Amino acid sequence: MVIVEKTIDSTFEAVHCFVMYVLKVFDKIESKKTDDMNFKLNIVLREILNNAVEHGNKFDKNKNVYCKIEMFPEHLLITVQDEGHGFGKNEIKTNNLNPLKRRNRGFDIIEKYDFDYRIEKDTVILKYYFKEDIQ
């Protein structure tokens, strides 16, 4: 089931408005919804969309970011596509052991909140498997 499908401008403000909208929509879905999931979705969406706006589209007013969120019985699927040149997973460096010096905290956060992700050029696909104890 598609929960949200929308194209947004390449600004941090547009990302914020979109995330608040998604959370409202998500709030109406009773199954698998918990406060814990709400925060995860909030922060992970911000990370992936901010990344698309900043590094993908470089805040270009003529470029947009497409986002689709789908809910399946076992998982949530988020597809984000920008109009940039794309990037590879090897360009994401999150391996500094000192937490004060880590770079790319966005993808670090996505991983820490148990979202799997794969990158296909200008598209990032995130998958989150619902935990059994919150169903």
Positions that interact with another protein (CB under 8 A): 11-13, 15-16, 19, 35-36, 39, 42-43, 46-47, 50, 99-100, 102, 105-106, 108-109, 112-113
Question: Regarding beta strands 75-81 and 116-120, do their DSSP bridges make them parallel or antiparallel, or are they unpaired?
Answer: unpaired
Determine contact, residues 50/17, Cβ cutoff 8 Å: no
Nearer to another protein, 16 or 131 (CB): 16
Q: How far is the CB of 130 from another protein (least distance, A)?
A: 18
> By CB neighbour count within 10 A (0-12 exposed, 13-18 middle, 19+ buried), where does 95 fall?
exposed
Q: How far is the CB of 66 from another protein (least distance, A)?
A: 19
> By CB neighbour count within 10 A (0-12 exposed, 13-18 middle, 19+ buried), where does 135 fall?
exposed
Nearer to another protein, 2 or 100 (CB): 100
Q: How far is the CB of 73 from another protein (least distance, A)?
A: 26
Nearer to another protein, 3 or 109 (CB): 109
What is the spatial order of strands in the sheet that 116-120 belongs to?
Answer: 2-9, 64-71, 75-81, 123-129, 116-120
Q: How far is the CB of 1 from another protein (least distance, A)?
A: 26
